[in-house]
Amino acid sequence: MKKDLDIPKVKNLKLAIVREYNSDFRGYDWNVYLINLKEEVLELLLIVINGYDAARKTAITRHKIDQLPPQSIAKIEYIPDELLALTNKFRVSFFLNNTLHEKNFILEKNTISKTKAKALSLFDNSLGFLFD
């Protein structure tokens, strides 16, 4: 059955992990953003997130976004530092022109750190990572 589904390859959708100052807690947090670089609206987005390694796994987290306008950014969630030691998988499904699209972002464990981060122009040169 699954082989009968035609799910197109997704382009111009990115995931960003950005280090931002949290004035409430007076420290820095890692926040996850979804970036729509397309010229069309993405509809009914479902983001499913889980972290894992050989010995541990996190609970599955789900987020829904009704619409993500063209050339826009949506904040998904905060990631605690202890989860950065795990591989984190972000599965994004959405409709575009009444067709289901799906894209997976896999962040290998220990990939995210402030020493490896780069300035991101989309986020006022805050340090972070951009994934295709």
Residue 84, in any domain of the structure: yes
What is the per-residue pLDDT across 50-95, written as a single tens digit (0 to 9) for each? 999 999 999 999 999 999 999 999 999 999 999 999 999 999 999 9
Residue 78, in any domain of the structure: yes
Residue 1, in any domain of the structure: no
Predicted pLDDT at 123 = 96
Residue 73, in any domain of the structure: yes
Q: Are 64 and 92 in contact (CB under 8 A)?
A: no
Residue 16, in any domain of the structure: no
Find the CATH number of the domain harbouring 71: 2.60.40
Residue 79, in any domain of the structure: yes
- The count of domains in the chain is 1
Q: Which of 38, 56, 59 is nearest to 48 (CA)?
A: 59
What is the per-residue pLDDT across 15-27, written as a single tens digit (0 to 9) for each? 999 999 999 999 9
Residue 78: which domain range?
A: 23-131
Residue 31, in any domain of the structure: yes
- Residue 51: how many other CB atoms lie within 10 Å: 21
6 pLDDT band, cuts 50/70/90, is confident
Residue 72, in any domain of the structure: yes
Cα 14 to the center of its chain, rounded Å: 7
